[in-house]
Amino acid sequence: MKTTELRQKDVAGLETEIKALQKAHFGLRMQKATQQLNNTATLRIARRDIARAKTILVEKQSADKSAK
C-alpha cells in the first residue's frame, strides 16, 4: 500500500488497516510453515507495509496531541 493512501486515512482507519495487514501476514506465515507459499518475498513486503502503517499512525497521533 502506498503512503499517500495511508496518509489519507484517519486514526481509526489506520488501526483497522494495521489489523488487516497483520492478519494477512499471519496467513502468509502459516502458508510458509506448511510449504504452500511459493513467493517468500511477500512476507517481507507484508512486514514493511505493517511498519509503514504503524509509522504513519504514530505520526498522526503525535500531531493530534501537539494540536491540543
Q: How far apart are the C-alpha atoms of 46 and 21, rounded to whole Å?
A: 7
What domains can you pick out in the chain, each with its CATH number? 3-61 (1.10.287)
In this prediction, residue 1 has a pLDDT band, given cuts at 50, 70 and 90, of confident
Residue pair 61/15 in contact (Cβ under 8 Å)? The answer is no
pLDDT in tens, 22-64: 999 999 999 999 999 999 999 999 999 999 999 999 999 998 8
Residue 66 pLDDT > 90, yes or no?
A: no
Residue 68 pLDDT > 90, yes or no?
A: no
pTM: 0.91
Q: Residue 64: its pLDDT value, please?
A: 85
